[in-house]
Structure 1
Amino acid sequence: MRIVSYVRTRRAGALVAAALLAAGCGEPIVPRSPEALYALAKEQMANANYAPALDTLARVAREGKGSALGRRAQVLHVVVLGGMARGLKEVAESYLVGSQEAGAAAYASQMRSIAMDYFGRARGLSIEMVEALDRLRQQPLQPLPVDFPVAASPGTGNPTLTKVRQGSWVEDPDRTRAEKEKIVEGMAGLLARLGGAGDDAGQLRARLQELDPADFYLGAARELLSMSSIYRAEALKDPRMFRLYHERALTLAERAAQVAAAGGDARQQQESAELQRLCREVLKKKS
């Protein structure tokens, strides 16, 4: 333990020294306000730089904790995480289906390997989304402000993934382009769901000011139930995580019920009751 502590101390000291040296030799580090960081995150999203946008939004949420801007960043953080997970999951499912087609016999193993890689990436992002939802669920029950700085249109199918599902091999540039398109569609569809519009991204622009908390938690619960399919037997096969997603979805549905009861919204109460029933049916089964 002492050796580990010593090594960590020496390593930390070296890092601090390096940072001070870099600061002295390079340009001065200019701190950015949460507002400037949020503007940067929106710019990163508009340029399809989603991984850096996630880091920036997480920083805004931390530094602006409790503020309207911090809550806005938290919501957008969930949308980006969930939308990316949703898009990657769809790519994964396309490759899994395609790998089972007769025409894909020559490269079925490669297609399945690509599918598993995409499922793994979707899993990582969706787990981060679960954690982000846990943090957001602890916030006061009030309308959730939201932005969506990405031009999106309703998904109308993807020719590249249609070929993949039919067992055809596609080159990397086409696959990468299809992935990006599905991520944008995933974010737009998720935001519509969180806003109480189902998956109708066509209603997106009418719901960009704020989201109703009950609709948000209901939509998040449904999204977790949908994402849980990445743990089914033919995909990543993880019954423990499958149950965990249903547990979290149940918690979100119960949270939505509290908000709906306070507001007297019968539709939301009924939807929450149905979601709770679905979750409990799964959870009462043995793993």
Structure 2
Amino acid sequence: MKAVVQHQFGETPCFTTFDDPYPSDGETLVQVRAAVICPADLAIAKGLHPRLPTQLPFICGRDGVGRLADGQRVYFRASRAPYGAMAEYAPAEWVAPLPDDVGWAAAAALVGPALAAWLPLATRADVEPGETVLVLGASGIAGRLAVQAARLQGAGRVIAAGHLPEQLSTLGADALIDLALPPSILQYTFASFAEQGIDVVIDFVWGEALELLLAALVQCDGMPMSMFDRGVRIVTTANRGAGSMMLPPAALRDSRVQLMGCGPANHPPLGYMKTLVDDILACASDSDLGTEFELAQMSAVADVWRRAGEQATRVVLTLD
């Protein structure tokens, strides 16, 4: 079969021939229609991901869409090396049915970043109906989806903090914070919102913005008593390249802040992950949940691979 194959770490993968896959126990063979290039795929290709395939060559990609033998349309994840999603056929670890009104490419582009938004809200912060959620870094793909996800998961108030906040006004946030403000003004702005009540913070940026928010939470004496039931739950999903941050002990000792991370090491069991994907696809069918993407032929992967890591929109590779 034809596939996008990585022969050496650090090289651009190529579209070439690879052995057909044979599903192992618990796997399902999928005839692939499209697969998305996500940040993890780019990191793996460079040899920089914490979980690298143990053998070369291998097929790139984990997430895609396709058909089962009975014709059912599905979203799938393929994670057993040397096979992957960017091929004519893939052995899927799990599949989720695609609603009829959700397109192939739209589903491929959406689910990965939507999971990055859903997981910290649903599994780490455990958002309750009516709570106030602040999305720190709402300008990125996952951040924009987190603003929508917070509302869909029952948040009573959603605050979007990002650069170019005027571009976030269409997402339905109740308030916007410009992260380009001077540090002293940004900290004052965070403190003003903290006085009104913040229950959950979903952080995609780490660094100075989160430092200023923590300082504002520590200095704020006017937080509503209702916030002290569970404190302020801060969940960071910032990646390994986000740099470092100063964290004085007072940020945790002198506040009701709970600081948590969300990543592969604390993801929920497979069955719950599939449930979240079903929820995401149902929301894509019932609402305007979605993300922008660029289409490219899988055979042209060498031309778009580098660009996929330099632009804000996902690149979806198709076999049509």
Pick the TM interval, shorter chain.
under 0.3
**Structure richer in helix, relative to its length:** 1
* TM-score (ref. length: structure 1): 0.25
* TM-score (ref. length: structure 2): 0.23
**Structure richer in strand, relative to its length:** 2
